């Protein structure tokens, strides 16, 4: 009885090992999943969360930030500092973002009312010192072309040009649409 058992087990083991080895052999004829990174950049999806950036209006090149400070408030790591322009309400003077603290949760991009702060698909952001990871508004702001690319890539609604007198236009607009 026991000898029979051993023979059955041996045959089963041989069959299973052969099966597994055949499966492995099939994998040798697949194209490699990994890519040689510096030569071949990976294909990233629109909602991958990498370096943060500020967009401008693709048509008029206005800065989209309205200094509402919602991103600063929601940031779990307190890595965003928004300094509004004291003279002109609704515009921004300085925007400091410490990428050394950032954990790329993307909460700021979700909360932003004007789609100004976005996660780009750029992940090559190594620097020689920690201070270099603190980005000011010049390094954060994208050019017009880049903003246009990201508005298309992420399929965000195109921003409307900033109204000159916000209160009046806001009241007038719905009336126009009704007509």
Q: Which residues bind another protein (CB under 8 A)?
A: 6, 17, 20-21, 23-25, 27-36, 39-41, 43-44, 53, 120-122, 124, 139, 142, 145-146, 149-150, 152-153
Closest to another protein by CB, 70 vs 120, is 120
- Cβ–Cβ under 8 Å, residues 64 and 55: yes
Closest to another protein by CB, 59 vs 122, is 122
Min separation Cβ 40 and another protein, Å: 4
Cα separation, 92 vs 136, in Å, equals 12
Q: How far is CA 79 from CA 52, 94, 102, 109, 137, in A?
A: 11, 14, 6, 14, 14
Min separation Cβ 179 and another protein, Å: 38
Closest to another protein by CB, 84 vs 150, is 150
Min separation Cβ 87 and another protein, Å: 29
Q: Among the residues of the chain, which ranges form H helices?
A: 2-27, 70-74, 107-111, 137-140, 144-153, 166-178
């Amino acid at each position: 009885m026991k000898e029979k058992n051993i023979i059955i087990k041996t045959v089963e083991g041989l069959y299973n090992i052969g099966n597994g080895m055949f499966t492995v052999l099939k994998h040798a004829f697949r194209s490699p999943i990994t890519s040689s990174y510096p030569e071949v950049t990976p294909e990233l999806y629109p909602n991958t969360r990498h370096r943060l950036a500020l967009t401008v209006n693709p048509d008029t090149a206005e800065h989209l930030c309205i200094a509402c400070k919602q991103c600063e408030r929601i940031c779990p790591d307190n890595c965003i500092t928004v300094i509004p322009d004291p003279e002109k309400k609704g515009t921004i003077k300085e925007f400091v973002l410490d990428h050394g603290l950032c954990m790329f949760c993307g909460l700021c991009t979700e909360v932003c009312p004007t789609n100004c702060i976005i996660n780009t698909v750029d992940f090559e952001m190594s620097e020689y010192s920690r201070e270099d990871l603190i980005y000011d508004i010049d390094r954060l702001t994208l050019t017009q072309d880049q903003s246009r690319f990201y508005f298309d890539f992420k399929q965000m609604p195109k921003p409307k040009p900033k109204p000159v007198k916000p209160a009046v236009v806001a009241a007038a607009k719905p009336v126009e649409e009704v007509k």
